[in-house]
Amino acid sequence: MLRLSRMTDYAVVALSALGGAEAVRTAPELAAETGLAEPTVAKVLKLLGQAGLVDGLRGARGGYRLARPLSAVTLAEVIVAIEGPIALTACVDGASGGCDTEATCPIRGRWDPVNDAIRNALSAVTIADLAPTSCAAAHRAALALA
């Protein structure tokens, strides 16, 4: 089964919450809003910042904001930021070093069309497509029910 990690799911939640706000948001604010643990939110924001998906602002009024609108951030970008290259097998696009039998493998490179199809499908979905209309309201409602 192909499954994304919880961290990737949390990254989508954090981005959705950032997209629902105009202002710069801190990790503790996002943690309180989303119900995620503050250290987890901080780690996710750091990885998203390294990938250029959020901007981290230092200082007394610092925090995080989206680097671009959610409609311009693809699910593929988030997955790569959190988990690394998107591929079903270790032999990503015929790259070397991913497999012990690489030199003699009869299907080396043949996974490339499958990997490309998955990347293209994930690149066609934006975080705006996944985010509820009012992400902040949805998370508050979910926390109230818990």
pTM for the predicted model, two decimal places: 0.81
Residue 119 lies in a domain: yes
Total structural domains in the chain? 1
With respect to residue 111, please indicate whether it lies within any of the assigned structural domains: yes
Please indicate, yes or no, if residue 1 is contained in any of the structural domains.
Answer: no
Tell me, what's the pLDDT at 106? 82
How far is 55 from 34, CA to CA, in rounded Å? 19
Which regions of the chain are under pLDDT 70?
Answer: 1, 90-99, 133-146
Task: Return d(Cα 92, Cα 80) in angstroms, integer.
Answer: 13
Residue 133 in domain: yes
For residues 15 and 78, is the Cβ–Cβ distance under 8 A?
yes
Query: What integer pLDDT is reported at residue 143 of this predicted model?
Result: 52
Residue 52's CATH number: 1.10.10.10
- The predicted pLDDT at position 50 comes to 97
pLDDT of residue 124: 96
Domain limits for position 69: 6-145
Dump pLDDT digits (tens) for 43-55.
999 999 999 999 9
pLDDT of residue 146: 53
Query: In the prediction, which pLDDT does 119 show?
Result: 92
pLDDT of residue 144: 56
- List Cβ neighbours of 118 (8 Å cut-off, separation of 6 or more): 86, 87, 88
